[in-house]
Amino acid sequence: MDRRWLPALAALAVLPWVVPSSYVVHLLVQVLLWSFIYTGWSLMGRFGLVSFGHGAFMGIGAYAVVLLWNFHGLSPWLSIPIGVALAVAVAVLIGYPCFRFGIAGHYFALVTLALTEVVRSVIVALRDTTGGSLGITPNSVLKDGVTWSVQALQFADKRVFFYIALAAWAFGIWVWHRIDKSMMRYAMEAIGSDEQAAASVGVNVTRTKLAITMISAALTALGGALFGQYQQYVNPETVAGIGVSLQIVFAVIAGGMFVRFGPTVGAVFTLLLTEGLRVGIGNKVNALDSTIYGLMLVLFIIYMPTGILGKLAEKLRRARA
């Protein structure tokens, strides 16, 4: 990313000091971490690789860190790379056969959906270690006056995690940008429009798809690890289930998967939506929020497939022309 972004990043960096409450800081961290995960997903999604398996990658990242900390005392600085590597390995295990044998579109979506369910089931089944569907909390070092630990990646002050989340988000945007400017984007666009023609000009279709899948899974697992670490709690429904996969897909479609900041807009939008629903209707009507969620997804796919930011960009371009 070039210098022009430094002022914008600086402006974001002072945010935690000017917003009125730590609740707002909490929302900002949420937006940044989810934006990072959504950006990771869109690396595949923008080229037509619609994955419902990202809940699995997120869960693997999140659980690897918490479990290795609780059972082996391994610092997140070491377990995060392990969790990411594990997610990438799973991505290859699923992706390679899919791409090698040309499983695409709906079938690819189904295979990845199954992956998410498998990972969730494994977490639930290993309840003696993982805490099952009740979730698990990383052993806290924040006691007896200790308010932070770099080694444990635990901080009493949310503002510290805000900067970690901001760095992750900026990294995600940077990766998106680099791929957008690379030959890999050409190759993926070519594969997206005609695999045989792409292969005929020398593109290795399987390898290219696998590469983008590995990058996407890695970012998502990193996002999951940071999310679990920030929440100091992981639960199969909140970091690994089909619900998470669906949320990712919905948010990115809503925000716009073909533009750099689309996933970020999607994160802001979905957060406003859930918070609004929570404040507006509370828990009065059971499952109303997920019903509205599903309805909105349908509406977006039909009426605004390029998402909020994509639509806005189109409008701007047309206004200028």
For binding to another protein (CB under 8 A), which residues are involved?
Answer: 183, 186-187, 189-190, 192-194, 196-205
Query: Nearer to another protein by C-beta: 197 or 281?
Result: 197
Query: Nearer to another protein by C-beta: 179 or 190?
Result: 190
- In the complex, minimum distance from the CB of residue 96 to another protein, in angstroms, rounded to a whole number: 15
Query: Nearer to another protein by C-beta: 18 or 321?
Result: 321
* Phi-psi group of 262: left, alpha or beta (phi > 0 → left; psi -120 to 50 → alpha; rest → beta): alpha
DSSP 136: B
Query: Nearer to another protein by C-beta: 133 or 193?
Result: 193
Largest CA distance in the chain: 65
107 Cβ contact list (under 8 Å, min separation 6): none
Residue 149 main-chain phi, psi, to 5 deg: -150, 115
Residue 248 main-chain phi, psi, to 5 deg: -60, -50
- In the complex, minimum distance from the CB of residue 177 to another protein, in angstroms, rounded to a whole number: 16
- In the complex, minimum distance from the CB of residue 136 to another protein, in angstroms, rounded to a whole number: 44
Distance CA 94, CA 83 (A): 17
Q: Please list the alpha-helical segments (H only) found in the chain.
A: 5-18, 22-45, 54-72, 76-100, 105-125, 127-130, 158-180, 183-193, 195-200, 205-231, 236-239, 242-255, 262-281, 288-303, 307-320
For the four alpha carbons of 208, 209, 214 and 217, in that order, the dihedral sign comes to: positive
Query: Nearer to another protein by C-beta: 148 or 186?
Result: 186
Query: Nearer to another protein by C-beta: 133 or 204?
Result: 204
Residue 86 structure tokens:
């594990």
Query: Nearer to another protein by C-beta: 25 or 44?
Result: 44
- In the complex, minimum distance from the CB of residue 187 to another protein, in angstroms, rounded to a whole number: 6
- In the complex, minimum distance from the CB of residue 50 to another protein, in angstroms, rounded to a whole number: 16
- In the complex, minimum distance from the CB of residue 106 to another protein, in angstroms, rounded to a whole number: 21
Half-sphere exposure of 161 (CA within 13 A, CB side): 29
Q: Please list the alpha-helical segments (H only) found in 46-133.
A: 54-72, 76-100, 105-125, 127-130
- In the complex, minimum distance from the CB of residue 312 to another protein, in angstroms, rounded to a whole number: 20
Query: Nearer to another protein by C-beta: 198 or 234?
Result: 198
Distance CA 62, CA 257 (A): 24
- In the complex, minimum distance from the CB of residue 54 to another protein, in angstroms, rounded to a whole number: 23
